[in-house]
Amino acid sequence: METTGRRENQLRHRDLRFISSIYLGLMFLFLLIFTARADSQNTRDWLTGLPREPILLQKWPNGKKVAVCFILYVEVWGSGKGPNLRPDTATRDPDVVNESFRQYAINSGVPRIGMLFSEEGQPLSIALNALYPSQYPAAWKEFRSLVPNAPIIAHGINNSSQLLPLDKGVNEQEAYIRRTLDLIERATGVRPKGWSSPSVYPNAETFAAAAAEGITYSLDAMDSDTVSRLQTKSGSLTLIPYPTVTVDMGQYFQRFKNPSDLERLWIDYVTELAREAAAHPERQATVVAIGIHPFVVGTPDGAAALRRVLENFKSQRLVWVTDVQGIVNAIGEKPAARKR
């Protein structure tokens, strides 16, 4: 009997050890899964080193899965500065060919794009150099009358000689951004809540400087299909994806793509996002901000190609053409308090 009781106790202890080992194993597995999920949801931004988290959104308004924002860059370059259509004439003085190319875009291309979006009844967003309205008042007045409700994104002072002071520290960047916002507000009556660095040239400090000046969203993130939130010391900043490959300037000047090539690129890009969404409805809703410039789509052939793109997107069931404010409203972001 004593031997039998001892045997039963040994079996009982063995069973308890077995159950405990299973329990500890399950707890360890749960910890691994939880840690992996936390790491996937909260990561460090590769440029700033700041915490960056996805803004989880299953769909856009009316069940749409792909949001598209067209951002028109309304810029000031200065005489002798800016993109060249003919590099072989750039050393001439005066360089009539390239200067005419730039002036046509500024005076005729910008209003033509405004007229196109007005006729198509589609929203447009404006990335504005602060000096444009004062240097080209007639073109700005005509353009603004065509798209009076288009949200304005601050795009620096000009696009050549007055860029962000990246080598002077965060305080100087804050002052530059504040001056940009002041100039735009004085010229337009609107103080922008969005930022796009002039010449696509920010650094790690730009994001915190923008948030410190009351900016709530930025187009300086070019590495994603979904919206995310960057946590800076001055507050959070919504990052709206602005993919490098969909910007017309790089494709036109560096890869020698014509407007008809861009038409196919934009339609293929957005259509594939919509196809992926239809095949995998559990995935997060996507967004693409498409940068357009009057040098490329402000000509008659460029406008014709862009019109066909808009018509295509209007026909796609899962595509939502909107502006940046529509994105901000849809994700429920609240305006940041203005720095005093």
pLDDT tens across 63-113, in order?
Answer: 999 999 999 999 999 888 889 999 999 999 999 999 999 999 999 999 999
| Residue 38: per-residue pLDDT | 41
Cα end-to-end span (Å), the chain? 86
Q: What percent of the chain has pLDDT over 70?
A: 85
Query: Is a pLDDT exceeding 80 seen at residue 299?
Result: yes
| Residue 81: per-residue pLDDT | 87
At residue 291, φ and ψ (nearest 5 deg) are -80, 125
Provide the whole-model pTM. Answer: 0.85
Of 147, 143, 128, which is closest to residue 186 (Cα–Cα)?
A: 128
Q: What is the residue-wise DSSP string for 263-278? A: HHHHHHHHHHHHHHHH
Query: Is a pLDDT exceeding 50 seen at residue 140?
Result: yes
| Residue 86: per-residue pLDDT | 94
pLDDT digits (tens, 9 = 90+) for 119-136: 999 999 999 999 999 999
Which residues, other chains included, contact 96 with Cβ-Cβ below 8 Å and sequence gap of 6+? 89
Query: Is a pLDDT exceeding 90 seen at residue 39?
Result: no
Q: Angle at Cα 70 formed by Cα 242 and Cα 196, nearest 5°?
A: 45
| Residue 31: per-residue pLDDT | 44
Which residues, other chains included, contact 17 with Cβ-Cβ below 8 Å and sequence gap of 6+? none
Q: What mean pLDDT is reported for the chain? A: 90
Average pLDDT over residues 257-270: 98
| Residue 42: per-residue pLDDT | 61
| Residue 36: per-residue pLDDT | 42
Of 325, 229, 316, which is closest to residue 277 (Cα–Cα)?
A: 316
Q: Measure the CA–CA gap between 123 and 147, rounded to whole angstroms.
A: 8
Average pLDDT over residues 30-52: 66
Q: Measure the CA–CA gap between 330 and 340, rounded to whole angstroms.
A: 28
**Topology annotation, domain 51-331:** TIM Barrel (3.20.20)
| Residue 338: per-residue pLDDT | 47
pLDDT digits (tens, 9 = 90+) for 321-338: 999 999 999 998 654 444
